[in-house]
């Protein structure tokens, strides 16, 4: 059994590296374990795409979660990049999982702790198993030099957040960790305009893929305009970039059904003056009622990914993320050649 002094020493070493930019010393010191495939890709300048692991452990039941994880990784490979699923196993942050490790995480399911930035120290110190959320995945990916991360959707400012201060740590992480996050936007059960305002306050560049309107996860449009800036990494601004990818058109019908139910539920909650802690349970129950249970109401709260449209979002994001990673690598190579000349 590890002594308390040894655990504290490992924890102290990890905490010192949560903020500084990429350095190979972190890997040499054993703070982060890279899979052989990811290590080779990073050393040779091959494009790499980080993937979160909460989608595996808390997203859907086994073996559907394992099948989906394999399919998403395959999409990244087919589009020219190396997938790097991130998790903490036995207290060791891992960037890139073997098939055996993926299966272990899938079978652990919710026994693996959902791990955001605030939870990393606890999971590592106790040699626990952690499924990384958006914020924790961003940290470890950036720590080893990965510049692109694909997820389903990000958290945001909850409705009435100006009173409750209920704001996802995903947003503050985007303001402090330099990585491009590819997502399907923010679910409209949240306050999208205030989420975008908060991201602006954090200095986060927000872009939408092939459109100038920010998508609302289940639908292509939210009514909020966004613009793109390409020089973030080059200028070393120290903040992340959020690139929101609209739902594929072939799945927009089912997404539209869910979005319509959400809007009805929101209006009813407003009419009945249901706010605060009572609002989210009411919205989830109402959306579930309106869609006959097909809405994945629980997924809005728990990130459960088990409908065709929801899984399709993640796969589409993986495709776009891989292409962005490849393009970024090509831009860097072109820039390096220009500097050499």
Catalytic residue positions?
Answer: 52, 187
Q: Which residue, chain included where needed, has tokens 């966004």?
A: 226
**Residue 132 belongs to what H/E stretch?**
strand 130-132
CA distance 112 to 157: 26
Q: Which residue, chain included where needed, has tokens 């890709």?
A: 41
Q: Which two tokens stand for residue 9?
A: 């020493």
**Residue 150 belongs to what H/E stretch?**
strand 148-150
Following DSSP, what letter does each residue of 252-287 receive, concatenated? HHHHHHHHHHHHHHHHHHHHTT--GGGHHHHHHHHH
Q: What is the dihedral of CA 25, 56, 46, 21, to 10 degrees?
A: -30
CA distance 155 to 303: 10
**Residue 310 belongs to what H/E stretch?**
helix 308-340
Handedness of CA 101, 106, 110, 114 (dihedral sign): positive
Q: C-alpha angle with apex 56: 141 to 260, nearest 5 degrees?
A: 100
Per-residue CA distances from 125 to 25, 94, 165, 209 (Å): 20, 15, 29, 39
Q: Are 60 and 48 in contact (CB under 8 A)?
A: no
Contacts of 51 (CB under 8 A, 6+ apart): 69, 72, 73, 76, 83, 84, 85, 86, 137, 149, 150, 151, 318
The DSSP output letter for 110 is G
Beta-bridge mates of residue 25: none
């Amino acid at each position: 059994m590890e002594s308390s002094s040894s655990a504290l020493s490992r924890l102290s070493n990890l905490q010192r590296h949560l903020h500084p930019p990429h350095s190979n010393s972190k890997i040499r010191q054993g703070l982060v374990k890279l899979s052989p495939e990811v290590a080779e890709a990073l050393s040779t300048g091959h494009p790499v795409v980080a993937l979160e692991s909460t989608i595996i452990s808390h997203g859907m039941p086994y073996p559907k979660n394992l099948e989906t994880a394999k399919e998403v990784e395959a999409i990244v490979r087919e589009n020219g990049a190396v997938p790097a699923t991130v998790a903490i196993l036995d207290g060791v942050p891992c960037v890139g999982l073997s098939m055996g490790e993926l299966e272990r995480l899938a079978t652990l399911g919710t026994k693996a702790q959902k791990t955001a930035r605030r939870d990393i120290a606890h999971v590592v110190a106790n040699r626990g198993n952690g499924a990384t959320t958006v914020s924790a995945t961003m940290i470890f990916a950036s720590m080893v030099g990965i510049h692109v991360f694909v997820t389903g959707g990000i958290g945001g400012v909850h409705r009435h957040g100006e009173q409750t201060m209920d704001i996802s740590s995903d947003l503050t992480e985007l303001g402090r960790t330099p990585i491009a996050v590819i997502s399907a936007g923010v679910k409209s059960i949240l306050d999208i305009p205030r989420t975008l305002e908060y991201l602006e306050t954090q200095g986060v560049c927000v872009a939408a893929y092939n459109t100038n309107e920010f998508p609302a996860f289940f639908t292509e449009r939210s009514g909020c305009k966004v613009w793109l800036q390409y020089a973030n990494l080059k200028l070393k601004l120290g903040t992340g970039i959020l690139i929101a990818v609209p739902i594929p058109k072939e799945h927009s019908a089912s997404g539209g059904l869910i979005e319509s139910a959400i809007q009805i539920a929101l209006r009813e909650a407003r009419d009945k003056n249901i706010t605060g802690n009572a609002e989210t349970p009411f919205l989830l129950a109402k959306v579930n009622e309106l869609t006959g249970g097909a809405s994945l109401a629980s997924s809005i709260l728990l990130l459960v990914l088990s409908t065709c449209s929801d899984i399709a979002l993640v796969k589409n994001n993986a495709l776009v993320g891989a292409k962005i990673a490849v393009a970024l690598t090509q831009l860097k190579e072109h820039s390096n050649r220009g500097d050499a000349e």
